[in-house]
Structures are given as C-alpha cells and as structure tokens.
Chain A
Amino acid sequence: MKTQNQKAWFFVLPVLLLVAFNALIPMMTVVNYSVQETFGNNVFFWHGLGWFEDLLNSERFHAALGRQILFTTIILLIEIPLGIIIALSMPRQGFWVPVCLVLMALPMLIPWNVVGAMWNIFALPDIGLLGYLMNTTLGVDYDMTQDPFAAWATIITMDVWHWTSLVVLLSYAGLVSIPDAYYQAAKIDGASSWSVFRYIQLPKMKQVLTIAILLRFMDSFNIYTEVFVMTGGGPGNSTTFLSIDLVKIALGQFDLGPAAAMSLIYFAITLLVSWLFYTLMTKDEGK
C-alpha cells in the first residue's frame, strides 16, 4: 500500500525560502528592470524587448563580448594544459607532497582584490618589481597603464598565476586515484609514456578536468575584481570585459534597463555554454 505523507514539504520549505530570497527575487527584479524604462522618481514605463534589441545591436556590447571570449579562450588554453603538466610532474608520495600542495593552494587563498592590488603594484613601471625590471634591466618598453598589449599580458599572467593551481589540484586528485596496477600493467604491456598519458591518465582525469574547465570557464567569463583593481578596464576600453562594462552601465551611467538586459544575456550565455559543455562531456557515461 502506498502511503501519502505531505510532511516532507516542510523540510523543503527552508531551502525554498533561501533560494527565493537570494536568487529568485533579485533575479525577477532584474527581469522587471530589463523590460522597463525609468526617468527616476521610481516611475517606470513599459519598454518591451527594446533594451534587448538595442544591446544585441550595440557595437559596444559586441566588443566587450569579443574581448571576454578572447580572454576566456586564452586562459583556458594556457591553464588547462599547464595545470595537467604540473600535476603530472608533482610527486605522488613522500615528504614533498604536502609542501607542493600547500604551495599550489596559496595563490587561491588570497582575496581577489588583494591579488589585483598585488599585481597592480608589481607591474608599475617606476616602482613595481616586475615593471621596473622589465623597463630598466631588460629594456622592454612595458607599461600596463599605457599599452593595451602589456595590460592583456599582465592580466593573463595574473590569472594564470592565480588559478592554474585549481586545475593542478583537481588533476592531481584524479591522478592519485589511479591504482598502481594500471601503471604496472602498462609497463608490462610495453606502453610508451605518451600511451600511459593518453589511455590511462587522461581518461581517469576526464571527470575532474570537466569540472576544472567548467569552473575556470565560469570564473574567467565573469572576471571582475582583479581587472577592476589592476586596469579599471583600460587603457581605453582594451580590458573592458563584460562584467566591467556591465558595472559601468549600471552604476556609472545608472542605465538600469540596459544593464538589466545585459545581465540577463550575460547570464544566459554563461549558463548555455556551461550546460552544453557539461552535457557533451558526460553524454557517454553510464552506457
């Protein structure tokens, strides 16, 4: 006999409330703003999908989106292979394991605005260690505040420094979970080290790498704090990524409608890409 017990709903209620207050209600406010126009005094006029049309046709948005995609692509292309290489070369046992792990985790423990400030000072041409050395000792004309290329290079280096560890730690976790027998069998089967990587290590790391790529995609696609502290989006607009542009529109120009429309599109892109990626990567599991 099937018994019905509706009491279970009470256990779900707290979570429901929590999600409502920290996600659903703020989100609906944004949706609300995105379809209205205001001239202040809390008076709103219906604007339909006007803001969305404007935004999707705006060159400013295209440029910011382009920069964002380029940035995310570059750091993924650097951080994922680099993270795997570092994880492969880390010791699997002995005294150096905890040392390596702690050293690896350090950059991730530093607050993001501190990371931004650190790298900002580090890169300053006149007083920063890196900036000074580059300009005087190496004779490279390097100034993050003037040269877009230098600004990009610095931000990418900063991100690689800050976040490769995440890929390393996740890959390492995948690697240490491989039983010794696999390596022994591969040795006996006469496998080359490339085959060992290709057929043993990579397949075993697939799941953690999926998570690593997903996290790095979402984080880098939403990057704000470090870039805001380091370059503020400059020089010019050269490092104005989506989130920086969004804040400029929302808080600088106080255009609530366009900013709300942009937030929703931004969110939709992140969600869509993450979902597509995750679905594709996990589709043959369980077969």
Chain B
Amino acid sequence: MKGTLRVRIEQFAPELGDTTANVDHLIEASRTAGADGVDLMITPELSLTGYELKDSTHRVAMPLGSAPTRSFTGECGVVVGLVELGTDFVPYNAAVHIHAGRIVHSHRKLYLPTYGMFDEGRYFGRGSTIRAYDGPGGWRYGLLICEDLWHPSLPYLLAMDGAQVIIVQAAAGGRGGWNGAQAGRFASWAAWHHLACAAAVAYGVYVIVANRVGVEGSVVFCGGSFIVAPDGEVIAHGDDLGDDRVTADLSIDRVMSARRPSAHARDEDPHLVLRELRRIVRAAP
C-alpha cells in the first residue's frame, strides 16, 4: 500500500455544454498534476459538461464505455464528472474515477436536489447503489456528489464499507455572499465545512470536497474547495470564486492515528442500525 497519496483538486469553471473544451482543459491539468507528483486529480461535479444543462442533458450524455478514459492514461488518476447515459437511456449525474486509461469506479448521484434553485430531478435519473472501492495506491475510496453529502447516511455507508477517503464533487452556488458572510466567505460554506468535518472526525476518514467556480445564469459557483484530515483539520483550502489547484498529501498513518485514541469507528454497529431502520421502515405508514 502506498502510505502517502498526493491529491489535487482542480477547481475550475467548466464550459457549459462543451465537453471537448473541458476534456482538453483536464488533459492539460492532469499532465501538470502528474509532473507535480500528484497521484489523483479530483474535479468538480459535471466537470466535463457544466451544470445548468437543462435540455442539453441528453445531448452531452455518454455511455460509460464512451467516457474519455484514453485521455487520461498517465499515472495521475482523475475523478471527472459527466452525464452518464445508462443502458436504460436515462441520463445520470455521475462521478467517474479513471486511472491509467480505464474506469476504476463510477457513482451515480443518489440525491438529486429539486427545490429552490435546483431542478436536477427533472433532467436526471437517480442512482440506486453506493459502494466503497479499492483504488490506486491500495487506498479504499468512496465517491459522493454534492447533495449526497447532505444525507449523512451516505458517508456513513461508505465508512462502513471501509472507505479511507471520501471524495465529494460539488457544484455549490455561493449564497450569503453579502449578508451573513463571515470573514469574507460565503455563508453557505459553513454548512459544507460542518458536514465534511463531522464525517471526517466521526469515521476517521479524509474528506475531499471539490467545488467548481464560474457563473451560469444568475448563479456564481463559489469554489472554496477543501480537504479535511481524519482528525477534522482542514489541511488545504482553495480560493473562493477563482480557479485554483488545491494539493495535499494524504497519509494512511494519519487515518490510523485518528482512529487510535477513540473507538467510534471500531464500535459502530451496523447491525443495530439495520435492525432499527427495519423497525422504523415497517412502522412507517
């Protein structure tokens, strides 16, 4: 197992609906990352397509077999975001981990926000599974997409499935940029930090949140990507609003040492959770 994993968040503004331009950008970024000794480059949600696709969703959708894996054949792996066209011809908002030109794992977004400024349920199908997986360097990973992190059952499931690193792609709009902002940050980031830090500390895992920047319509995506260590320390942080590269070295020793003083992860009892959830679900009207 590789004891240290160098990761980088490529925080950028994808061109809306222009997959070619976005792939070109990420090819260049992954080359640079590889030259910098990065093992895994993580990109934001829908990094190959942009976010507000609306009826363009079907136009940019691609079967996983057509994903641009051959564009990323170097030693630096990459997690991209794309619209996956399922065999049922339903488009899914997907995160895809590519390494050495092949797909290591993919995840379909489970919780599609369809309220307020979001309309994902109108355009995407909803995923139905979540799995941690063994990836490059011998680490065990889990993928989430944006709203997924706001459902604590999902990082819980990844942790129970053995994840040591939880990767979260995001296209989070900046809210509270004026009123309610603290120390010049978007107020909406406070909740993201709480959620990511809570998952990291509770389960002794790294949590990587890769958010995008740029503007689509009336919404400014607020960047501020960050990496949380298993003890809850934010070890790397990107700029708000602007392109940035957020790099950190993850250490398996830090995962181990975070789990050593306490026994939360060890004592977690999924059987108890399963039993009680069965009872709750059965009792539900």
A binds B: no
